[in-house]
Amino acid sequence: MSYLTPAAAQALLTELTCDAQLAVDPREITRSRRFEPHDHVLLGDIVVRRFRHGGRWKYIEQDIRQAGHALARFGLDLHDVVPVQFYGAGTSAGLRPERTDWRGAIGSYLSDLAPGQSTAPASLAWTASLWSSTRSLAGTFPLRLLSHADGQWLLPRAYVELLDRWREREEDLTARARICKDCGAQGPSGYEWRTLEGTGYVTRCPACSAAGLPHYADQLAGRTYKWAKQSAHRAAEYLCRLCGARRAYVWDHCHQPTHQYVRGPLCTSCNTTEGRGPEAAFLQRDGAARYLLHCPGCRRDRSLPDHHYAAVAGAHLAQTERRCRLCTAPPTVTPVPGADLTRGPLRYTLTCSRHPWETPWTASVPADQARAIVTDLVEAVLADDSAR
Ligand SMILES: [Zn+2]
Ligand SMILES: [Zn+2]
Ligand SMILES: [Zn+2]
Ligand SMILES: [Zn+2]
C-alpha cells in the first residue's frame, strides 16, 4: 500500500481532474479544520479516508486515483439546469449557515460577492466574478456552475443531485463518528468522545474508555520528555490524567527550557487546551493548576509555565478590581494580546460583568507582581495537597 502526503495527494488529484467538467477544488484534500467531525474527505459524494501513518495524516494513493478518475468521468450536462433558491442570498454576510447546508453556503458566498443584492446583476463583470471565485464547497467550485435567467438562479441538475448526496454522506459519516466503538452509545455532537489512536480517531464513551485502561499512577514521575520518548512507556496505555474520560495520546510535558519534565499522559483534546493556555481558559478547569504542578521543576521554583501567567494575573484582577460606578460585581478581564513577561507588564481591558455597556477601563500587572501572584497560587495548591 502506498501512502501519500496531503500535498502529494492534492497534486495527483489536480493532475487527474484538470479536464473534468465538474469544477473540482483539489485543495479540499489538504484542508484541515481544527475539529474534524470524522476522518474522511468528501469530493462531491466521493468519500476518501485519511489515515494516521508515521504520526501524520496520509492518504492511500489508490483511493486518490479512484476518486480522481470518478470526478473526471462525472457527466455534467450544462444545458439541463434547474432553478435553485439560495436563502442566504441578500442577507448579511456575517450569517454562517450549517456545515452541510449547501443552499445557505452558496447564498452566503453570493452575498459576500455583492452585499445587499438579492438578484443577480446581469453584467459581464458579475459573470467574471462568479468564474474567478475560489469559494468552494464539497470539493467543488459552485459559483462557476451558476447561471441566472428570468430572475432565477440556475444550477446543472446533476450538480444539485450531487450536492444533495454530498450532504447525506457528510451527515451520515458525522453521525457514525459519534457512536461509541465498544457499546454503541451515541455521543454528543462534535468532538468530545473522539480520540486519536492508531490510524485515526476512535470514538469511545467515558465508561468504555475507563473500562479498558488503567489510571496513570506516576510511573514516569521526575522523568523528562526525552527520556519518555526513548522508553518503552506509551501514553496510550493510560487514561488521560486530566479529564479521565479518554485514552491518552501524548506524554504531556512542561515546556519551560530548564524543566522538560513529564506531567502525565494526556488526550489530544486536553493537550491542545493546555497549549493554548488563557485563550482556552485552561486554568479554569478543575484541577488544572494541580495538574501543571506535576512538573518537579515548577514545584521547586514555585512557578507555572510562562504562557499561563496572563491567565493567573487576570484572575487576580477579577478578584480585586472593583471600579464599576453602579455595582461591586467582579469585572470581565480580557488580556491585551501579545503580553510578554520578559518585555514588561501584562495589560488587560476590564468591563463590568453586570453592566458591560459602562465604559471599560484598563489595568496592568508588572512582571514581578505577576510572578508573586503565580507563586501565591502555587503555594496555595501545594498547601491544599499536603493537607489532604
Ligand atoms: Zn461505550
Ligand atoms: Zn483529556
Ligand atoms: Zn515546569
Ligand atoms: Zn456594574
pLDDT at 65: 97
Pairing of strands 147-149, 152-156: antiparallel
| pLDDT tens digits for range 104-117 | 889 888 888 776 55
Report percent pLDDT > 70 for the chain: 92
- How far, in Å, is the centroid of ligand 2 from the Cα of 307? 20
The answer, yes or no, to whether residue 95 has pLDDT greater than 50, is no
Report percent pLDDT > 90 for the chain: 61
Cell 471565485 belongs to: 133
pLDDT at 93: 44
- How far, in Å, is the centroid of ligand 1 from the Cα of 202? 11
pLDDT at 281: 82
- How far, in Å, is the centroid of ligand 1 from the Cα of 35? 21
Whether 264 and 291 have beta carbons less than 8 Å apart is answered as yes
> What ligand has the least distance to the C-alpha of 322?
4
- Using pLDDT thresholds of 50, 70 and 90, give the confidence band for residue 89: very low
> What ligand has the least distance to the C-alpha of 204?
1
pTM (whole model) above 0.85: no
* C-alpha to C-alpha distance for 372 and 283, rounded to whole angstroms: 17
- How far, in Å, is the centroid of ligand 2 from the Cα of 177? 18
Mean pLDDT, the chain, whole residue set? 88
- How far, in Å, is the centroid of ligand 2 from the Cα of 214? 14
Whether 44 and 71 have beta carbons less than 8 Å apart is answered as yes
- How far, in Å, is the centroid of ligand 4 from the Cα of 162? 54
- Using pLDDT thresholds of 50, 70 and 90, give the confidence band for residue 92: very low
| pLDDT tens digits for range 316-370 | 999 999 999 999 999 999 988 776 777 789 999 999 999 999 999 999 999 999 9
**Listed residues: CB within 5 A of ion ligand 3:** 254, 256, 259, 295, 297-298
- How far, in Å, is the centroid of ligand 1 from the Cα of 265? 21
The answer, yes or no, to whether residue 90 has pLDDT greater than 50, is no
- How far, in Å, is the centroid of ligand 4 from the Cα of 318? 13
- How far, in Å, is the centroid of ligand 1 from the Cα of 59? 29
- Using pLDDT thresholds of 50, 70 and 90, give the confidence band for residue 136: very high
- How far, in Å, is the centroid of ligand 4 from the Cα of 279? 24
Give 287 or 344, the one with higher predicted confidence. 287
| pLDDT tens digits for range 171-230 | 999 999 999 999 999 988 767 788 888 888 889 888 888 887 899 999 999 999 999 999
- Using pLDDT thresholds of 50, 70 and 90, give the confidence band for residue 127: confident
pLDDT at 96: 47
| pLDDT tens digits for range 214-235 | 999 999 999 999 999 999 899 9
